[in-house]
Amino acid sequence: MLNCKQAAERASNKLDRRLPVYKRMGLWLHTGMCQNCRRYIEQLKLLRNSSAKLNAHIENCSDKTLSETSKNKIKKYIQQEREEK
């Protein structure tokens, strides 16, 4: 029988690979009796769903911008490069 520590790890593994039937069965048997692990699985799902949306959030963080120094460097470089061509 799995303990919670093993069940928690297996629940995470399930997000990364297809588990063999006996492993899925073991997890299913455990969570059938264990509310904590059921909650853990729910919370992992939320974590996964929200992580997938984090990229859009990062892109729209309007308070983070390149410094003027860096912008000028890039501008200069692009101009130079194009004049050489």
Residues that bind another protein (CB under 8 A): 3-6, 8-9, 12-13, 15-17, 35-36, 39-40, 42-44, 46-55, 57-59, 61, 64-67, 70-71, 73-75, 77-79, 81-82
CB 23 → another protein: shortest distance, Å?
12
CB 1 → another protein: shortest distance, Å?
11
CA dihedral 63, 64, 69, 71 (to 10 degrees): -100
| CB closer to another protein, 21 vs 61 | 61
| CB closer to another protein, 32 vs 64 | 64
The rounded distance, in Å, linking the Cα atoms of 43 and 30 is 17
CB 31 → another protein: shortest distance, Å?
12
Count Cβ neighbours within 10 Å for each residue of 16-45 and write b for 16 or more, e otherwise.
eeeeeeeeeebbeebbeebeebeebbeeee
Q: Which residue has the tokens 């299913």?
A: 28
